[in-house]
Amino acid sequence: MTIDVEKLLQEVAAKHGLVILPDDPIIAAVTLNDIILDAHTARIAEAQKSLEEHMATVTRMQVERSREIARTVIGDALEIAKKEINDEALKASEVFSIAVETKITALETSLQNSAVYQGQLKKVLILLSGALLTAAISIFVLVLAL
């Protein structure tokens, strides 16, 4: 940043009523101060640029680390969920198998009972048909005897 010496001399004269010549040693001090200020400004700008680059690098590293953590957490959660789903599916399968076996046993028992009842019914029908036949013969014999 270069200082406009003429403007500086005019402002000092206007504000303080002092006339300073362009070759006055105070102007050399102002110029030297301007050079030093420019050097410090350049160093600060370079430090700021370096800091911005470093912050960008740190941010990228943090984002990548966050992604790795997220992948790990999600992966672990998926494994846990998969195991829990498989465990629940096995339990449900066992419960279903027991229910089906119970129903099959009940049906087998029912069929066995039905077969027993059919056998008993058959015996009753045979006995009844025998009794009816005997009664019919008896009636026939009585009718013939009359």
The Cα 57–Cα 64 span in angstroms is: 11
Q: pTM here? A: 0.47
CA distances to 21, 82, 90 from 79, rounded to whole Å, are 84, 5, 16
Average pLDDT over residues 54-80: 93
In the chain, count H helices and then E strands. Answer: 2, 0
* pLDDT tens by residue, 5-29: 999 999 999 999 999 999 999 999 9
